[in-house]
Amino acid sequence: MKNYSEQKKHIDNIIGEELPAITALSDYLADNPEESGQEYETSRKIVDLLNGKGFSTEYPFAGLKTAFKASCGPDNHKYKVAVLAEYDALPGIGHACGHNVSGAISILAGLALKDLQDHLDADIHIIGTPAEESDGAKCIMCDQGVFREYDMAMMVHLYDQNQTYCTLNGLASFMYDFRGKASHAGAAPWEGQNALNATQLMLHGIDCIRGCSRPETRLNSVIFKGGTAGGSIPEDAQLETWIRFPEYSYLEKLMKRVDNCAAGAALMAECTWEKYPTAAVYKSMKRNPAGEEAIAEVFGELGLELNGNPDALFGSSDIGNVSFECPSFHPTLQLVDKGIPIHTREFLSGVKGERAHKAIEDGAKLIAYTVAKIFGDEEKIKKMKAAFQSQSID
């Protein structure tokens, strides 16, 4: 298997052999969704499958009970590749994110690549990354330096379009806690300091920011607490705000401006305030044109049309943080008809059945072919690494 063509044949054979078991896994996950951070049976089922296929697993991994790291063989090659597997579900609508299919794709790709490690001089690790929809396990792993040892990381997300990359929005979410003073709203309102007023003033300030921000800015807020009785001046109120922007440097500016709204609102309402993060900060995706070129070639080899607009905003994901640690790729694969958005019941209806099973096969080939194409060619590796080093870190 010295050349790329022979490696592709090997990948195809392994995928053909393993596909029934992996599609069964995907269907099981669809029928038994577990929300972010609660993927106990899901992760155990995946780990048991990998152990049975010759992988050694570290489970739990990175201090996360539902995360894992799987490797096969001596683990002593020149390069290291992380195939990222997501498998958490959404509250109320299960795998409307398609993570059952995406996770299955990564598992199947890892199985298809494990016997090519010597030929590619690359260790293939499958990293189970839970809680993408909430706390972002990848962010925690990045903070621990997990991905700094890798030369490449890749996964596939399901979508209504085929794209070599997608544009991720950076995301920061914070709870703002305002503290005032309670008093009788009818007898002595002047003795009170209204914390609910502070949240209202902060919301108005955030609304004003939109008019003087770049058009990609997204600011969304919810009042979580605003008092307990109409006859009392609220002494405690809470506002959660989600701040999004595709470039991390501008996202930081927006965070400071939102903090200014909180400070101003507290001053006007004569309250105190503090904030705390409700999830890790999700960074935007650091692009890598050299690697994306290889992915585009593989789409062509698979006969899959690139039929999307990768520059349109896709959403937010913790793989953005990984892309600042090593060259990382997050292509999308069409699972449903165009126009059906993710995180909907219409998308959920597509995560099982023949079309989903075909997506698992195609997605696994997309990852495995791309890894073989890049790591079978030292020039491609150099270009990918150079592209990673040359990109700004905004």
CATH number of 4-168+284-390: 3.40.630.10
CB-based contacts of 118, cutoff 8 Å, min separation 6 = 77
Residue 394, pLDDT score: 47
pLDDT over 70 for what percent of the chain? 99
Residue 272 has what DSSP assignment?
E
Q: What is the pLDDT of residues 380-391, one digit of tens each?
A: 999 999 999 986
- E strands in the chain: 56-58, 68-71, 79-85, 122-128, 152-154, 157-159, 167-168, 170-179, 218-225, 236-245, 272-277, 313-315, 328-329, 332-334
The answer on pLDDT for 279 being more than 90 is: no
Residue 114 has what DSSP assignment?
G
Q: Rounded CA gap, 91 and 38, in Å?
A: 11
Residue 391 has what DSSP assignment?
S
Every domain range in the chain assigned CATH 3.30.70.360: 170-277
Q: What is the pLDDT of residues 58-90, one digit of tens each?
A: 999 999 999 999 999 999 999 999 999 999 999
Across 182-199, b (16+ Cβ under 10 Å) vs e yields: bbebeeeeeebbbbbbbb
The answer on pLDDT for 184 being more than 60 is: yes
The answer on pLDDT for 136 being more than 60 is: yes
Q: With H, G, I as helix, E, B as strand and everything else as coil, classify residue 282.
A: strand
Q: With H, G, I as helix, E, B as strand and everything else as coil, classify residue 90.
A: strand
To 5 degrees, how large is the angle CA 277–CA 63–CA 73?
Answer: 135
The answer on pLDDT for 392 being more than 80 is: no
Does residue 296 contact residue 369 with C-beta atoms inside 8 Å?
no
Q: With H, G, I as helix, E, B as strand and everything else as coil, classify residue 195.
A: helix
Q: What is the pLDDT of residues 9-32, one digit of tens each?
A: 999 999 999 999 999 999 999 999
Place of tokens 């489970």: 59
Place of tokens 């400071």: 256
Residue 228, pLDDT score: 87
CB-based contacts of 80, cutoff 8 Å, min separation 6 = 122, 123, 125, 149, 150, 151
- Mean residue pLDDT across the chain: 96
For residues 217-223, give the mean pLDDT.
95
Place of tokens 């997300």: 157
Residue 1, pLDDT score: 62
Q: Rounded CA gap, 184 and 63, in Å?
A: 48
pLDDT over 90 for what percent of the chain? 94
Q: Which CATH architecture has domain 170-277?
A: 2-Layer Sandwich (3.30)
Does residue 107 contact residue 49 with C-beta atoms inside 8 Å?
yes
Does residue 295 contact residue 329 with C-beta atoms inside 8 Å?
yes
Question: Which of 372, 369, 373, 374 lies closest to 385 in space, CA to CA?
Answer: 374
Q: With H, G, I as helix, E, B as strand and everything else as coil, classify residue 133.
A: coil
The answer on pLDDT for 213 being more than 90 is: yes
Q: Rounded CA gap, 210 and 293, in Å?
A: 36
How many helices and strands (H and E) does the chain possess? 12, 14
- The residues pairing with 219 across neighbouring beta strands, listed in sequence order, are 243
The answer on pLDDT for 2 being more than 80 is: no
**pTM for the full predicted model:** 0.89
For residues 78-104, give the mean pLDDT.
98
Every domain range in the chain assigned CATH 3.40.630.10: 4-168+284-390
Residue 212, pLDDT score: 94
